[in-house]
Structure 1
């Protein structure tokens, strides 16, 4: 009886072996390495909103199954310049642990329309250059990633930090002749995300102080009178200087802040000042014409006082609204 059982088992194994071989040949699945990726942010510096760049020094590490060293084949996609040093690798029971120091300058589009209340998200983007997602998977070691306690960024405050892993899909095979033309490829993707907000308002006040002085002079021209009704000439001299100062201040803001890519807070408050300056010029011309056509000086003074009071209130309210909206939007 035992003899026939052995013969039956041998026959079944003989039938199963070719089937298993056919399945393996039909569905060849490569072994996927899993790499836990983490970062320690040691320094953040030279945040340039005009050039769209920032500098950062980090310690990066990976723990990969098998003998894979993910840092050796990792590409930092948005790095403008970079130096890697102090490389180290050590096999552990959990996989190959590797680390290195990475210092570089990175490209980053920065929206400064809400300057000086702007908040930004800086990103360092990493992808593998050797393997796609079928053979390599990134897992973010966000729990052990952190920021140096002594990190201090001139003019900025770090408000958030995270390491995020996902897969990036490309609608190309990058010229691989063994793949169809319309194929999509997927690569492991890692992002080091740093949230910052501007902490220095001193530069803002230095930029807007001349503007607010010019606006104050614009409003004060409504209180300039003479007994002969010549309102145009004395006001025009002052308002011409005001317009020149506003335009120069706008250029100074562009030099400091850079292109905003649209109307920002600084653009809006300068345009508001220009509007009131043009309104004051129009009022001076109107009063001169009306005085010469029978309006008395007392009547013109009453209207000028009304314009001064209402204009001051409207100017202050609109400035408060613009600044409040910028603070809210960040």
Structure 2
């Protein structure tokens, strides 16, 4: 009898332990969706994102185009009921879809334009273990702040910001899931000829809206950030180097006799007009910003040195007209050295400062 009693107790303990394990598995089958959930109304929603296209980075409008798939998974008792005994079941098109299951109301804070028109292939899958998975494809423009102080040697952060439009942080917490690593992202997004992808991250944060009249002013937020660096070779060969050549051409007036003011002025004015034309070309590529970029400083410096050459010509001609031809020739000789040295030193300082701060 004792042996039978011991055997019965052992079977009972094994059954209890098995039931506890099964309960914990179904409560948190992914091992991460319910991590850190407290005894509150807050639910953890695990978000995964896969970028399939990234292109059309527009400096003038601070926008870029992105195409990606997104999936949101969470545990909810109603999901197991809706599965109706099946391993998984698609219910998005059924009337009971968002009646029994809590809609996370996901939105993209920095999306440009209407979001509904960009959502495709939406689906809601319920599993018999209580997990809901809502997935869809999204494509469209996004706004992202761009610091252009170091243009064209700049580094930018392209961000996709995800929040719930209705559920505050007391009800919903977004947890980062899978996303593209840098190598996969480079393979998936070949349409960035002007940019080099340096890194990618998917971080959790909080969006604060203190001006809201609702009791809830904090919202869980996820931010996918793609770090990109501009390929500046194009700007060096087509903008910066031609500017340097124009400025160097303006220095040829120092070798023209100071008495030939008309010839000197023709060269100087032609160089000034060339720099102005370059300024008009580059101005259309950037937004109206309240600070100078590296390219702006380069153009401004070119303006100054070309204009200074014109002023030097006038001074030399004035010295000749007052009978000081020897001194006028010395001014030209000094200018042949001082102008190039000063110009290239300032250019080097601008480049070093930009590279160090960037």
* In the alignment, structure 1 residue 234 sits paired with structure 2 residue 269: no
Look up the SS of the partner of 1:158 in the other structure.
strand
How far the C-alpha of 1:71 sits from its partner, in A, is 7.4
**1:167 and 2:196 are equivalent in the alignment:** no
Match of 2:276 among 211, 232, 247: 247
**Within 5 A, what are the aligned runs for 1:113-192?**
113-141=149-177, 144-146=179-181, 147-148=184-185, 149-152=187-190, 153-174=192-213, 176=214, 185-192=217-224
Residue equivalent to 1:21: none
Tell me, yes or no, if the aligned pair for 2:55 and 2:189 is still in contact at 8 Å.
no
Inter-partner Cα distance in structure 1 for 2:334 and 2:204: 62
User: 2:59·2:285 contact (CA, 8 Å) conserved in 1?
Assistant: no
1:70-109 matches, within 5 Å, as 73-81=105-113, 82=115, 83-92=118-127, 93=129, 95-109=131-145
- Mapped pair 1:61 → 2:71: yes
Shift of the alpha carbon at 1:302?
Answer: 3.3
Q: 1:254 to 1:204 in 2, by over 3 A?
A: farther
Q: CA RMSD in A?
A: 2.3
How far 1:167 sits from its partner (Å)?
2.1
| 8 Å contact kept, 2:53–2:189 | yes
Answer whether contact 1:80 1:106 (CA < 8 A) is retained.
yes
Contact 2:69/2:135 (<8 A) preserved: yes
2:350 corresponds in structure 1 to 322
Q: Secondary structure at the match of 1:256?
A: coil
Q: Is the 8 A contact 2:239 2:278 kept in 1?
A: yes
Q: Secondary structure at the match of 1:192?
A: strand
The answer to whether structure 1 residue 308 and structure 2 residue 347 are counterparts is no
Q: Deviations over 1:227-286 (max 9, x none)?
A: xx5243221121111111111211111112343431111111111111112221221111
- Do the aligned partners of 2:65 and 2:140 also contact (CA within 8 Å) in 1? yes
- Tell me how far apart the structure 2 counterparts of residues 230 and 34 of structure 1 sit (CA, whole Å): 82
Cα distance change on mapping 1:140 and 1:325 into 2, 3 Å: same
Label 1:224 to 1:318 Cα distance change in 2 as closer, same or farther (>3 A).
same
More displaced 10-residue stretch of structure 1: 188-197 or 253-262: 253-262
1:161 to 1:76, Cα distance in 2 relative to 1, 3 A = same
SS at match of 2:167: coil
Deviations 1:66-104 (A, max 9, x none): 149787511111111341112233334472223221111
| C-alpha distance in structure 2 between counterparts of 1:61 and 1:287, whole Å | 74
Corresponding residue SS for 1:112: coil
Residue correspondences, number = 290
**C-alpha distance in structure 1 between counterparts of 2:132 and 2:338, whole Å:** 72
Structure 2 residue runs without a partner (length 5+): 1-38, 80-97
What per-residue deviation string (whole Å, max 9, x for no partner) do you get for residues 12-57 of structure 1? xxxxxxxxxxxxxxxxx85221111121111101100001110001
Say if 1:70 and 1:121 are closer, same or farther in 2 by CA, change over 3 A: farther
More deviation, 66-75/240-249: 66-75
Unaligned runs of 5+ in 1: 1-28
Q: Identify which of 207, 215, 240 aligns with 2:239.
A: 207
For 2:248 and 2:189, the matched residues in 1 are separated by: 41
User: Is the counterpart of residue 194 in structure 1 residue 230 in structure 2?
Assistant: no
| TM-score (normalizing by structure 1) | 0.80
Specify whether residues 70 and 232 from structure 1 end up closer, same or farther in structure 2 by C-alpha distance, changes over 3 A only: farther
1:43 aligns with 2:53: yes
Distance 1:167 1:150 in 2: 29
Q: Distance in 2 between matches of 1:207 and 1:187?
A: 45
